Structure 1
Amino acid sequence: MFHRVFAHFRHSPSSFGRNVLSRSIGGGPVTERGGARRNYLQKATAGRQFSSTGAQQPPKETFDAFRAREEQKEQEFAKQQQQQTSTETGAAGNAEFSSSSSSSSSSEHTDSTDPEVERTKEMILDAALLFVRSHGWSKEAIANGAEAVNYPSVSHGLFPRGGIELVHHFYKQCNLKLIEHLKQETAELDKVPNPSDFARRAIEYRLRLLEPYLKHWPQALGLMTLPPNAPHSLANLLTLVDDICYYAGDRAVDFNWYTRRVGLACIYKTTELYMLQDSSPGFERTWKFLERRMEEASMVHEFLVKSEGATHQLQNAVGSAFTTARNILGLNFDRR
């Protein structure tokens, strides 16, 4: 009896569980406990994929996937913050740079047109010429020139291009001295009797102005031939020969006007180079060289005038060169 009761008690919970499982999953009677448990778990898992309203819910992500997603979000946020900071910093920097550039540009423009600043620069460069013999055409000479007229040595910052500005200043001063000399030579003349000889003497006078600085003049020539300095240097040369031809009486704008100036520029430069190597007393050989070149130029000029084919082409090319030279130096006015 006890055996039956025990057996009944032992099997009753199992039977009760099977009945409950059968009712919960809506299936028929289950004979095997393992199969019932699998069916229950499968349908229970499927049941959790639906909400109370019947809408399908996404499956739960694993912890690793969640951590990876959060780390990615943090990285993206940090990247956005960095980009925003860089943008703000760049905008502020650009605004500051634009402001400083504008003020600097305005300052430079003011300095370049301020008569007082120009007078100060002229004074410093004039004094700096006294130091060319010891320092060459350099910023050191300009700094010493500034100190000589009671300005600080850092005033050479007014000349950002360095020694070439001192060279151009000297060239300009020599050209102005030449103009004054030619004015005196022609003051009482209605017409120059011998234009070729007049031009020769003008070139000699102009080259003699180089004598105090002849030792350092090769350095000046080197600076003038550098690409950034060449346009201004060529403009100085062309205006030099233009002034000589003008006071020699060559004022007609024709083929003769152009050939004289081109030929005279070549003669001046070749004589200048010859002078650097001349050790004769008073540069005697240099002036003989100049005289021979002037005689040859006269013969070449006569040949070119008779050659009508080259007239218009050379006239257009050389004419534009002299116009450009005047524009570079700002000489679109009659300074004579």
Structure 2
Amino acid sequence: MASPPLLRAACALVPTHGFTRRALALSALSLPQPHEQPLSDTAINALFGEGDDARRTLADAWLENAREEVRGRFQGRAQVPRVNEVLEARLEANEPVLRHLPEAFALLASPTYPLPPLDPRPGLKHAFKVADDACRIAGEATIGTDWYVRRGTLAAIYAAAELHQLTSPTTAYAFLDTLLAASATAKSSLDDVGTFANYIARSWAGIVRSSGVF
């Protein structure tokens, strides 16, 4: 689902302004028929949520737009891409905002309530969506348990590659290829939902801690 115009405009400002309320405020100036003034704090609260909730809304929208961008890149191609091409394209989509991603991930993983201290569910959801997109775009036909195992394996691989990308962008693609080449081993160790969830949660926690926010 495409983001509303204001969120889409704000997403385009993330490379410069990060996942901030400022980016949301300035989005009103970037519409096809721009406003004369940036959005007020009151308007941001009403449209996107109060405080950091507005920033979480922007982070969620950016992740969805990145997935949409990758799907569009491969749409209509005569040759069906391989899974690794799709995952590489998704890593590439991170590049313009790479310096801001740790903070965005930290925002998404920080719960609204005091406990627990870290919510792994956004990481699980994000990685699994990327994996599902890769399988669909590559035309992989799996059913039953294999459907979940394949996506769980790819989600774990992508999460690890994305964490690697934050600390070593130039080697992230080679790291992804190495993990994919060893995916048979990854599959055997991630063949149940609990193991997969724990793996992604650890990867997500690593992303958050690398941001220095917590």
* Shorter-chain TM-score above 0.5: yes
Question: Is the contact made by 2:17 and 2:23 (CA closer than 8 Å) also made in structure 1?
Answer: yes
Question: Is the contact made by 1:255 and 1:315 (CA closer than 8 Å) also made in structure 2?
Answer: no
Indicate yes or no: 2:181 matched with 1:295. Answer: yes
Question: Is the contact made by 2:11 and 2:61 (CA closer than 8 Å) also made in structure 1?
Answer: no
Q: Distance in 1 between matches of 2:152 and 2:159?
A: 11
Question: Is the contact made by 2:128 and 2:155 (CA closer than 8 Å) also made in structure 1?
Answer: yes
Letter in 1 for 2:65: Q
- RMSD of equivalent CA atoms: 3.0
Aligned pair count reads 180
Q: Distance in 1 between matches of 2:66 and 2:106?
A: 18
- CA deviation string 1:168-223 (max 9, x = no partner): 111111111222233334x455xx7xxxxx11111110110111111111111111
Question: Offset of 1:290 from its aligned partner?
Answer: 0.9
Q: Distance in 2 between matches of 1:316 and 1:213?
A: 31
Q: Residue 170 of structure 1 is aligned with which of 48, 55, 62?
A: 62
- CA deviation string 1:223-243 (max 9, x = no partner): 121235754553343222112
Question: Is the contact made by 1:125 and 1:145 (CA closer than 8 Å) also made in structure 2?
Answer: yes
> Which aligned pairs between 1:1-336 and structure 2 lie closer than 5 A?
122-149=4-31, 150-151=34-35, 152-154=38-40, 155-157=43-45, 158-160=47-49, 161-185=53-77, 187-188=78-79, 198-228=82-112, 231-232=121-122, 234-278=124-168, 283=170, 285-301=171-187, 303=188, 314=192
- CA deviation string 1:28-60 (max 9, x = no partner): xxxxxxxxxxxxxxxxxxxxxxxxxxxxxxxxx
Letter in 2 for 1:175: R
Q: Distance in 2 between matches of 1:182 and 1:200?
A: 13
Q: Distance in 2 between matches of 1:132 and 1:315?
A: 34
Q: Go from structure 1 to structure 2 and tell me whether the alpha carbon gap of 1:316 and 1:135 turns closer, same or farther (over 3 Å shift).
A: closer
Q: Go from structure 1 to structure 2 and tell me whether the alpha carbon gap of 1:316 and 1:247 turns closer, same or farther (over 3 Å shift).
A: farther
Name the % identity: 24
Question: Is the contact made by 2:59 and 2:104 (CA closer than 8 Å) also made in structure 1?
Answer: yes
**Can you give the 5+ residue segments of structure 1 that lack an aligned partner in the other structure?**
1-117, 193-197, 305-309, 319-336
Q: Go from structure 1 to structure 2 and tell me whether the alpha carbon gap of 1:201 and 1:153 turns closer, same or farther (over 3 Å shift).
A: same
Say which one has the larger Rg: 1
Letter in 1 for 2:143: V
Letter in 2 for 1:237: A
Question: Offset of 1:294 from its aligned partner?
Answer: 0.6
Q: Distance in 2 between matches of 1:317 and 1:276?
A: 24
Higher relative contact order, chain-length normalized (CA < 8 Å, sep 6+): 2
Letter in 1 for 2:183: A
Question: Is the contact made by 1:250 and 1:257 (CA closer than 8 Å) also made in structure 2?
Answer: no
Q: Distance in 2 between matches of 1:217 and 1:206?
A: 13
Question: Offset of 1:144 from its aligned partner?
Answer: 1.2
Q: Distance in 1 between matches of 2:130 and 2:8?
A: 20
Question: Is the contact made by 2:70 and 2:93 (CA closer than 8 Å) also made in structure 1?
Answer: no
Q: Go from structure 1 to structure 2 and tell me whether the alpha carbon gap of 1:271 and 1:316 turns closer, same or farther (over 3 Å shift).
A: closer
